[in-house]
Amino acid sequence: MAGIAVDPGDPPADDSAGPPIVHLHGGGYRLGGAEGWVGLAHRMARATGRRVIVPEYRLAPEHPFPAALHDAAAVWQAVADPAQGPPPVLSGDSAGGGLAVALALALRSAAAAESPAVPGPHRLVLLSPLLDLRADAPSYRLNAERDRLWGRSAAREAAEGYLQGVPPEAEPLASPLLADPAALAGLPPVLLFAGTGEALIDDATGFARRAARAQVAVEAHFLPELPHVWPLLLPDDPRSAEAMARVADFLGLS
């Protein structure tokens, strides 16, 4: 499996910390790689006491949708072995957050269709997730001056490269915000972080509302004055450490 795997500094001898975390990196489906997420993986591993796996996946435009989803599913199938105990936690930031939700939906759909059993994630952790590739939410306009990292032009370029003609509103595995409520029902508990000044804040709040209406347990933290994926980009900010502590709490480790 290509990617990185980071162990906590002092893993419990009896492996009581629980199953690993599979984190899908961001980059608009066209940039990035696991090595760029080593710092976040280390901080998450130290906070939770769990192994953090950041896999590589194929990128657009050379590898359009659903290549990234297929790669994420292959990694998940290799890691989520029922014989090894409870299923892993699934995490992701930005486009990786959207990919994480898409993978959780695909796994649930496969289970409903009585496909060979591959367990879905135990928990979902989403950092500033990109969940709607239409890129027309009001927050793109309202936060255009505040969000210097992700804007409408970047979102539309990412969508064009990734979808290559697939309508974003027609494919919930590319735009999970648009998934049927019945498809959301049965997802695992979700922990979600976003900044109120982000272009993607409407993606985050919209998903939190839709998931909650589908009876999914959602814990959402929307913080002011913080940029897109701040736990990744601002490792020394106390609020980034607080976010990692919240992840540990959410996983039942403190």
- 95-112 vs 67-79: helix crossing angle, rounded to 10: 70
User: Do residues 128 and 24 make contact, with C-beta atoms less than 8 angstroms apart?
Assistant: no
228 as an active site residue: the answer is yes
Whether 253 has a pLDDT exceeding 80, the answer reads: no
Whether the pLDDT of residue 112 is over 80: the answer is: no
Catalytic residue among 25, 122, 175, 198: 198
pLDDT, one tens digit per residue, over 57-110 is 999 999 999 999 999 999 999 999 887 778 999 999 999 999 999 999 999 887
Model confidence, pTM: 0.94
**Sequence ranges of the domains in the chain:** 3-250
- Taking only the tens place, the pLDDT of each residue in 113-165 is 555 578 999 999 999 999 999 999 999 999 999 998 899 999 999 999 999 99
> Active-site residue among 91, 94, 128, 175?
94
> What pLDDT score was predicted for residue 164?
96
Collapse the DSSP code of 133 into the 3-class scheme (helix H, G, I; strand E, B; otherwise coil) and give the result.
Answer: coil
- Catalytic site residue 94? yes
Active-site residue among 91, 128, 228, 240?
A: 228
Share of the chain above pLDDT 70, in %: 93
> Architecture of 3-250 per CATH?
3-Layer(aba) Sandwich (3.40)
For range 48-64, the mean pLDDT: 97
- Indicate the SS3 state at residue 36: helix
> For residue 249, which amino acid is it?
D
